[in-house]
Chain A
Amino acid sequence: MPGFPTDGFLLDVSAAGAALAGSLLLGTIAARILRAVLSGRRARAEQAIRPMVLAVVSGGEAPAALISARGVRGRAAERIAFAYLAQVRGEAAAFLADLLARRGTVARLQRWTHSPRAHRRARAAERLGLVASPEAERRLAELVTGDHNPEVRIVATRALGKTGSAAAARTLLHSLSRPAPVPEGIVASALLELGPEAVPGLRAELAGGRRQRAMAANVLGLLDELPAWEGLVENAGSGSVEVRTSAVRALGRLGLPQAIGPVTACLNAGEDPALRAAAAYALGRIGDPRSVHPLAACLEDPHYWVAHNAAMALAEIGGAGVTALSLAAAGLGSGAAHAREALARRALARGERPAAPVRTDTPVQGGGSPVHTIAPAPASARGQAPAPAQNPAPAQLSASAEATAAGAPAGHQGPGARGSRQGR
């Protein structure tokens, strides 16, 4: 039959296939053997080098064999030294950094930061952050602000955070003003990594540019830097919404009652909703009963986060705040919904059963069919003291709340209170 392969051709194809399979098998075996040999050499080199590096960590003199090690032993020395450098601080870190400098590793990394290959610059930056010498820090600062590759700038930012240098804080903050800066979250993480070393730079930048002030305020709050509260109060009162919001949030984290006045001022209806929401959150963190009245006034706010944060803040304040929430929960509007949510969350957080909403049929004033409303369970069902006969009017809310804060029994709403609110 024309075109049908002959036996000879089929034999040739089979032989070629077998040869290819055989060579692939041999190649795989050779690669595995080579890998095992290299891995064994690496393990032996690490075994020999590790005790020398451990001795250096403890302040021992670095042996010449460790300083001059090259090839597989040299790579082992560097891998182990950097692995330990990431785990230790203080003089142990200084001993290791000195070892790496004497081996010429630091100089090589500095050269690598000028490499045309981005991955090499990034790798060098990461390791220079662990070395944390003044020269390394200078070069990292240049990379943070000047490298054309965003990934390298990010790695350099993180590395600068690991140096533990006070000067690094201002470099990081100023990098925010550069075109195409590193994402703020990464800068904030690096500043937090610097820890207390960053505080002087952060406090100085509270009087700096807009981005620097906002970032400094946020990080000072996260670092619980109580002495910075006055600078934060100044920033909460003036400047851009971003700066004021960050300062108010930080004041909340610090939780100092001295900040109540300036933070409460940020709740005013004329302020930006983001700032007002942050102020409500901050007042909850401060937890002072004096904030109950201004927070309760925000429960019906048309901006969701303002009302939501105000309700959560009242729950966090407890006592008088909870009384205010209970009063508001009896209403009908969005404020009542926020109040009920806050009360339920509070109960769950305390391991209690949230008060089940109770459907009540309340006659509408002036006749007509009853209106179905959802109201909180009776106080007795929540394990609280029975409500007094007198129903506090909304105007009495503040006085009632203050009384609770002072330890007086709380006045809870009864059916009449719901009726009166409904009638409004």
Chain B
Amino acid sequence: MTSVLVVDDDPDVCDLVTYKLEQSGFDVRRASDGDAALREVAKKVPDLVLLDVMMPGISGLEVLERWRSDETTAGMPVIMLTAKAQENDVERGFELGADDYVIEPFSPRELVRRVTAVLSRRQSV
């Protein structure tokens, strides 16, 4: 089963995304901040990460930077979750190697499609 790590400090967003992804057949793990995300990935590298940009402690962009500088996680697909007001972070996210981004508020159906698209793109490379 394809594993997805959802990283968001908002439990409501985590619930929503987890529910929708599980419904679509993904195995979902959760982390509520950057430190927890780094620990989860160190335990087992997921097939894809949905990563919130704005989090307490280490920001999503910093987490992404660390993953990209580590050869075990450098190729791990990452989709950034960002609020509408932080669209500038999208550019920075792409510079750091994000594969895609989803702006909140999001369409849950579109989110699943993007996850599927990024995964199939990675598999075809």
Contact = CB atoms under 8 A, between A and B. Distances in A.
Interface residues of B, number: 16
Interface string B60-97: 00000000000000000000000010000000000000
A54 B105 contact: no
A88 B15 contact: no
Residue of A50, A90, A91 most packed against chain B (CB within 10 A):
A90
B107 A54 contact: no
Contacts of A89: 105-107
A277 B116 CA distance: 49
B19 A83 contact: no
Interface in B9-37: 10, 12-13, 15-16, 19-20, 23
Contacts, number: 43
B109 A91 contact: yes
A230 to B, nearest CB: 26
A87 B19 contact: no
Contacts of A80: 12
A112 interface: no
Nearest to B18: A54
Contacts of B13: 87
A118 interface: no
A318 to B, nearest CB: 21
B106 A87 contact: yes
Contacts of B109: 90-92
Nearest to B104: A87
Given A87-B12, A88-B16, A93 B105 contact: yes
Interface of B: 10, 12-13, 15-16, 19-20, 23, 84, 104-110
Interface of A: 50, 54, 57-58, 80, 83-84, 86-93, 193, 195
15 contacts: A50-B15, A58-B23, A84-B12, A84-B16, A86-B105, A87-B13, A87-B16, A87-B105, A87-B106, A88-B16, A88-B108, A89-B107, A90-B107, A90-B109, A91-B107
| The 8 nearest A-B residue pairs measured at CB | A90-B107, A83-B12, A89-B105, A54-B19, A92-B108, A88-B105, A87-B105, A87-B13
